[in-house]
Amino acid sequence: MSGRADMSVAAFEVIPAIDLRGGACVRLFQGDFAKETRYSDDPVAVARRWQDLGAPRLHVVDLDGAKAGRPLQSTIVAAIVAAVSIPVEVSGGLRTTSDIESAFGYGADRVQLGSAAVHNIDVVRAALAAHGDAICISVDSRDGHVTTDGWLGATDLPVLEFARRMVASGVARIMATDISRDSTLTGPNFQLLAQLVEELPVPIVASGGVANVADLTRLATIGCEGAIVGKALYEGAIDLPMALAAVGFA
């Protein structure tokens, strides 16, 4: 039984994504590095804009770091954290305790771990011991199985099995991304997300495919804690203040 089933819509967070590649703010279609859309060469200005429009927090991803397996854009990520007063979750290439401590050192509110959770559970356990619920696990998947290394590495790990394993290790929050939906504006994988909400006693943040405000209200209704929104915001399909009002956050 889910610990989130009675979550009120008012608790739902609409979280703008800032995906960094080569110093720019971009989106990758279905996680494909060959299908990039560049939205801004000034990610710090983008972060300030989302804050000014009412974002409750930001989700910042070092795409180059995720692919390489080590942080490559920490200077820019740190500049974003310093430029805003809202909480910032950071992700991408954070595979060691040193990487994680560096992120918290420059002011990250949460650190999200993905590949590290698959490849080195000891790093996750150490991070949880030091930072508790400030650690979030990213469960990225394609065709029902977990992916790693900037979404380029396939595994035979079923999503729910892996998520349960993470919760058993003490993880307090999970972000779930269906890569096949990411930046497609075709809607989230509601079936998967509803299953995770139902089966797991921790908050679930949705990611991938959000196209409109109706998607957000449906995610709130099924019990997700929030949703990462990228392309729909950057291309104007979702107006952030209107979305926040629709889910009762504003």
Per-residue model confidence as pLDDT tens for the chain (250 residues): 344 434 333 469 999 999 999 999 998 765 566 777 999 999 999 999 999 999 999 999 999 998 888 999 999 999 999 999 999 999 999 999 999 999 999 999 999 998 888 888 999 999 999 999 999 999 988 877 888 765 566 778 889 999 999 999 999 999 998 877 655 677 899 999 999 999 999 999 999 889 999 999 999 999 999 999 999 999 999 999 999 999 986 5
Which residues, 6 or more positions from 15, have their beta carbon under 8 angstroms from its beta carbon? 55, 56, 57, 58, 59, 89, 205, 226, 227, 228, 229
> In CATH, what class is 9-246?
alpha beta
Instruction: Give the residue carrying structure tokens 């290439």.
Output: 93
Tokens 């200005």, residue?
A: 45
- Residues annotated as catalytic (active site), given as ranges: 19, 140
| pLDDT for residue 67 | 86
Q: What is the three-class DSSP state of 18?
A: strand
Residue 105 to residue 61: CA distance in whole angstroms: 17
Q: Strand pairing of 145-148 and 110-113? A: unpaired
**Position 232, amino acid:** A
Check residue 142 and give its pLDDT.
Answer: 82
The SS3 of residue 160 is helix
Tokens representing 164 are 């349960």
Instruction: Give the pTM.
Output: 0.90
- Taking the CA atoms of residue 90, residue 187, residue 196 and residue 133 in that order, the dihedral angle to the nearest 10 degrees is 20
The pLDDT value given to residue 66: 86
Look at residue 237 and give its three-state secondary structure: coil
Q: Please tell me the predicted confidence (pLDDT) of residue 9.
A: 39
pLDDT score at 185: 73
